[in-house]
Each structure stands twice: as C-alpha cells, then as structure tokens.
Structure 1
Amino acid sequence: MKWIAMMSVFIIVCLGLAVLYGRYRWQSNTDSLRAKLISEQRSIKPAVYDPKEIAGLPDPVQRFFKTVLKDGQAIVAAVKLSQQGQFNLNEMEDKWNPFTATQLVATHRLGFDWDARIQMAPGLNAFVHDAYLLGEGSLHASLLGLFTVANIHGAPENNQGELLRFFAETTWYPTALLPSQGVSWEAIDHNSARATLTDGATTVSLVFRFNAEGAIATIRAEARYRDKLTAMPWSGRFWDYTVRNGMLIPLEGEVGWEYPEGIRLYFKGKVTEIHYEFAS
C-alpha cells in the first residue's frame, strides 16, 4: 500500500510538472510571436483622423465614421484586449466550450495574435494561436501546450481567412477602416456598404451593415475558406456598444458559418479589457 501511495504521488507530481512545462513553452512561443508582430510595425500616416477624408464615401459609411469617431481622433496603432466566451468545436451540433483569450493587434503592418484557452474538460485545455503575421495566416492548436492537434501555416486560403478575421474585428479599432488606412468603400444601399482591403498578395471584401445609430451591426463575407477546398459564407454581429478612448466600439459579438439551412455559430465572446496604442 505504501508503494502504491508513493507511485500515485510520483505520477501526480510528474503530471503537474508536465502541465507547468506546457504552459511555459506555450507562453514562450506567444512572447516570440508577439515580439515579431510588434517589431514589424511601420509608421502610420496620418496620425489623426480628419473628417475631410470621408467626403465622397457612401452615406452609411460617412454616418458610421461620424458616429464612432470624434474629430481629431488618434489613429490606432496597436490593440491589446482580453476576451471570454464560448466556442463550438462541433460542426454537427451545438457543443459549447468556455474559453478565455488575449489578443494583440497591430494595424501597420497588419497582423494579430489570438492566444486562447478552450476548456475541453475539467482540467484539460486546448491552447490555440490564431494569427496573421507578415501576410501569412496560421492556426496552431495544442492540448495543454504539449500535444499538437492542428498546425496550419501560410496557405493562400488560410491567409485569406485570417485577413478576413482582422478586417471584421476592425469594429474594435475603427480608425483602421478609414480610406487613409488602405480601405476602399462601395455603396450597396442606405444601410450597408462593401469594404475591400489588400495586404500583399491577399485581397478581401466584407459587407458591413450599420444599425440605426450608424454603428456596425453585422459583417458578412460571401466566401471565407474553412480549408483548402471549402469556402462558405461567413458572418457575424456585434452589440453592447460603449466609448473607449473616444471611439464607440462593441463589447460583444458572435460569428458563424452560413449553411443552406441557416447560420451555425461557433464563437460567442465578450471583450473584458481593451487597451490602445496610438500613432504619434
């Protein structure tokens, strides 16, 4: 009995050390990725928002910028945020897993890193990096930071998908949607417009639909790649708007894939903290 007890303690200690090592290794990778993201930044011009630059844009787009930005708003250079919510990893039915995440976004050169912990079972987390850096998208998922279960990097289809994510999330850093920041706008109707963004060899477009107040209500891409062979309509919506650093941004959102029978959500999240760095 004494020998069994000693072995049990030994196994528990080894498991604990393995978990700590997995966290350490994952955090080291996160630090390296984010250092590279920041090191690649370029200067941003102009450094402040001038309302004159939206003259000639479609009416709903002008209304949007007048709603979410103040005159002289500093242009966002980087964003650090924290999230919590639920993630559905099952394509056939709703099986939601709680998650927490931090995210670093850089607007020049365009990029982000989403570092999440998705609880698969009590005490068992999937560690996930979803990122876009130097024109390439990547997805790395690992159990406990030790056992890789997915590692996708640099395929054109993945680049397109991750740049679309960056584009959709500009609702949290709306100065990135200005024409001076590389976005072109095309009128659709009095409540929506199509925006297009190019980064290197990748060009993406989103339809932004605005609510009665002028803020972004929904986004939609006609086709976002899920893998190398499958592209599907992809959409999301945002709500719970509040002012942060002079900008009107949403704190909650959800995103999903559009099937013929309807949308299947896979992400429901809330921003719990957000901090900005501005161009100077």
Structure 2
Amino acid sequence: MWMKWIAMIGVLIIVCLGFAAIYGSYSWQLNTDNLRAKLINGRQTIKPQIYEQKEIEGLPDPVQRFFRTVLKDGQAIVAVVKLSQQGQFNLNETEAKWNPFTATQLVMTQRLGFDWDARIQMAPGVNAFVHDTYLLGEGNLHASLLGLFTVAKIHSTPEANQGELLRFFAETTWYPTALLPSQGVRWEAIDDTSARATLTDAATTVSLVFQFNAEGTIATCRAEARYRDKLTAMPWVGRFWEYSVRNGMLIPLEGEVGWEYPEGTRLYFKGRTTEIHYEFAS
C-alpha cells in the first residue's frame, strides 16, 4: 500500500513539474515578446541606406582592408538582425563546467539594442532561462530557473549599461555595416593589424581593440575593462572564425568569449550561429 502511495505522489510531482515548466515557458515568452516589441518600437531611420567605399577613405589601413574584405560597394545597411545560436556556456567561476544552450537574438542597429533569449540546460529537463538585453540605453540581465524562479536580475546600472553596449559592439562582426563611421563608430590607428573603435549611445561610451587577421577579417576583439559586477571590471576578449558570406557580407559563424586573467583567458561562451536573417535600411 505504501509503495502505491509513494508511486502516486511521485507521478503527481512529475505532473506538477510538467505544468510548472509549461507555465514558466509561456510566461517567459510573454516577457520576450514585450521586450522585443519595445526594441522594434524604438527603431529609427538609418542614413545613409547604402555603403559606398568612399566612406572609408582616411580610416586606418587595417580597417580599410577589413571593410573591403567583408563588404561590397553598394551593400545595403543592416537595420535588423534575427539569429539563432547553439553552443556551450560555462556558469562556473573557477572550473570549466560547460552546459549546452540554444538561443535566439533580435538586434536593432538604430536605435541600437538587442535581446538575447537563451535556454541553458542545467540538468535533463531543467533549463535556466536568460534574457541579456540592451534596450534604449539600458543594460539588463534576467536569469530564471524554469522561467519561474529568478536567480539573477540586474537592471540599468552604469556597469550593466557599459557591459551590454560592449556586447553589442563586439557582435557587430555579424552585422558589419554597423561598424561604419556613418553609423557612429570612431576609428583610431594602433598598428598594421589592429585599431581601436569607439561607440557612444546615450550616456555610455565604450571602446574595443579589433585585431585583424591576414585575410582582412576580425580575428579578435578586446575591451580593457568590462564590468562583471558593480565592483569588478576586467579585460574581456572575443575570438571569431569560420567566415561565410551572408546577404553579400562576410561574417563569422563561430566564436568564443571570456575574461582575461593574469594566468590566461577563462572562456564562458562558445557558440555557433545556426541561422541569421537581415532586414535592411529602406
């Protein structure tokens, strides 16, 4: 008899967890839809609408080579990006413990912003839901177990704003027209293979050093200091490879990101873009 009751309780718990997971996913999707509607509603007119090579005259030599490599004269300026990713995420501060993830992302280039909506598998059937967002000048992070139980939430601190704008800036490798001077980016020469780019949005200004490879594409980017939390800023680096042409633009399909410690780089993201779609200025 007791075994029967225990089995029934076990089944009831499983059913309840199933309903909780369904409700959590539904509630999270409503939040995603709301965030992305705000991104779309903040969309602004982009000018110019077409890239012309004369725009890059006078830029540092490696930057000119980069634009000539990844863009063709007459390329339409990217306005919206919709992409899907899969890969691994390391949530552990001290060890390499990788969890698989899938994600979708919506990016607006004017007014610039993005929403990254990820599912990180913590255990079979148990996902952490994550929104990493830059919206109307504000950086936000919301992580929730099953979409129901918040485990982390950061909203619009100066440190979060800086960190999320840096993320947008690094990911322009997927939408390289956003790196053009006409789109607000300032370039400074460093040497034959690297240059510093600076971007300002609202009250936040960020800079990245882009390193270019022999083919002319971006190999790495590095921020001297990105905030991990309100008190700690560290060097932050990204690496990109497997370039492929999408809608006339040469973009990387794989990348990894990590924090730079004195003893070396500790990665926390390894991902591949599985789908990418663009809307262009018109």
* TM-score exceeds 0.5: yes
Counterpart of 1:254 in structure 2 is 256
- Deviation digits for residues 30-63 of structure 1 (CA, Å, limit 9, x no counterpart): 0000011011000000001011110000000000
2:250 and 2:215 map into 1 onto residues whose CA distance is: 11
Counterpart of 1:264 in structure 2 is 266
Within the candidate set 177, 196, 203, 1:201 is matched to: 203
Offset of residue 9 of structure 1: 3.1
Counterpart of 1:42 in structure 2 is 44
Counterpart of 1:158 in structure 2 is 160
Counterpart of 2:103 in structure 1 is 101
- Deviation digits for residues 110-142 of structure 1 (CA, Å, limit 9, x no counterpart): 100000001111111100000000000000000
Q: Specify the code of the residue in structure 1 equivalent to 2:67.
A: F
1:105 and 1:134 map into 2 onto residues whose CA distance is: 12
Within the candidate set 67, 79, 98, 1:77 is matched to: 79
Counterpart of 2:129 in structure 1 is 127
Answering whether residue 240 of structure 2 is matched by residue 223 of structure 1, we say no
Q: Which runs of 5+ in 2 are unaligned?
A: none
- Deviation digits for residues 202-227 of structure 1 (CA, Å, limit 9, x no counterpart): 00000001010100000000000111
Q: Which runs of 5+ in 1 are unaligned?
A: none
Offset of residue 12 of structure 1: 2.2
1:123 and 1:6 map into 2 onto residues whose CA distance is: 21
Counterpart of 2:194 in structure 1 is 192
* 3-state SS in 1 of match to 2:94: coil
Answering whether residue 118 of structure 2 is matched by residue 140 of structure 1, we say no
Within the candidate set 12, 20, 23, 1:21 is matched to: 23
1:92 and 1:204 map into 2 onto residues whose CA distance is: 28
Give aligned-pair identity as a percent.
84
Offset of residue 93 of structure 1: 1.1
- Deviation digits for residues 180-200 of structure 1 (CA, Å, limit 9, x no counterpart): 000000000010000000001
Offset of residue 7 of structure 1: 3.4
Offset of residue 8 of structure 1: 3.3
Q: Specify the code of the residue in structure 1 equivalent to 2:272.
A: K
Runs (4 or more) in structure 1 with deviation over 4 Å come to 2-5
Counterpart of 2:92 in structure 1 is 90
Counterpart of 2:238 in structure 1 is 236
Counterpart of 2:184 in structure 1 is 182
Q: Specify the code of the residue in structure 1 equivalent to 2:230.
A: K
Q: Specify the code of the residue in structure 1 equivalent to 2:70.
A: V
TM-score, structure 1 as length reference: 0.98
Offset of residue 91 of structure 1: 1.2
1:123 and 1:58 map into 2 onto residues whose CA distance is: 50
1:117 and 1:111 map into 2 onto residues whose CA distance is: 20
2:88 and 2:10 map into 1 onto residues whose CA distance is: 34
Q: Specify the code of the residue in structure 2 equivalent to 1:265.
A: L
Which segment is superposed worse, 159-168 or 4-13?
4-13
Q: Specify the code of the residue in structure 1 equivalent to 2:119.
A: R
Counterpart of 1:110 in structure 2 is 112
1:6 and 1:214 map into 2 onto residues whose CA distance is: 64
